Structure 1
Amino acid sequence: RGVDLMSVYVRIYADKVVEQIETNGDISTMYPPTLVWVCVDHLDPLPRQGWLAKEQGGEWLFSPELPITATPETQAVAIAAERFMHEAGGVIVDGLTIETTRDSQTLIAGMGLSAIVDPEYRCNFKSANGFVEIDAPRILAIAKAVRTHVQACFDRERELLLAIDSGNYRPEMLTEGWPDVPPVPEPGL
């Protein structure tokens, strides 16, 4: 493919297409490696958000999701999956793009505890931008930002579950009101 030609990619999460982009950039350098992006230029029709995705023999297979009768239980499951996706979307602290996957949250919490116990603590931290040496105050700022982001995701999930309980839930609410996902860092920053 030439540099000027655009490719279409879909992001796969929990066996579903959750996002679609068109870019002429190198997708492997544009996003954290924990995200699964698949080029779908060769497919017709293109998979859409919500389609099922399954890897089989090194190839990705896509199919429209079968309509499910919306019950409070199936809506709650969809909301929890959406929260989990946003929870792992990351935050930006002092120009650093910080992963917020469950593994990252655990590592950051441990780093934060070290910073509380020893205010002189410093460490090399690998953000999505690359390695950077950080001190205790910056560690605590990162830990606080990650915790705030994760809590905002759970708070949004709770709001949606309360909307289901009160009969005010609408399907379009599933993708609204979540914390913003940080922009992609430029390579080498």
Structure 2
Amino acid sequence: MRTPHMILLLAAALLWAAGHARAATPEAKLAYQQARDAAGAAYKNARARCDAITGNPKDMCVAEAKAQRVQAEESARARYEDTLKAFTRARMRIASANYQRDQARCAGMTGNDKDVCKAQAKATLVAAEADARADQKTIEARNDARADKLSAAYRVEMEKCDAFAGAAKDQCVSAARTAFNR
């Protein structure tokens, strides 16, 4: 159950660290729309299979279909938007959908088993949301640290250039700006 969250975290970290621009290309938009359409079609098929079932198993089947649709749509949206905020939002919505699925599973139980099931479902939701927020803060902190390090290195290079004069200094400054994209 934690594997999709880890995959999203890894994807967010890799995409964020690589500094990709927002995916505004027509190909990215088309891939996003196709993923949403595929998720919708898969949901309709799963929902049709659920209609043959009655009672709590039907509720569980429908909740599972909804959770799978949310996971597919949110993953596609996060890849399309390609921001840390989008990946975190996707993880939160997936956790919420999984919680609704777990609640449907718990509805078929009785007594203490039902209470334990509901408590476990809530604990899983809280843990997933906390992990998403913590991972976002970690990635943001690493990005801030990386920016601070680059800024400090740039200042060092510019200080080295002060040892030169005239054309040599201009060439040194130009090389430093090029190296640090300034």
TM over 0.5: no
1 or 2, which has the higher strand percentage? 1
Could you say which TM-score interval applies, normalised by the shorter chain? 0.3 to 0.5
Which of the two has higher C-alpha Rg? 2
TM-score (norm 2): 0.35
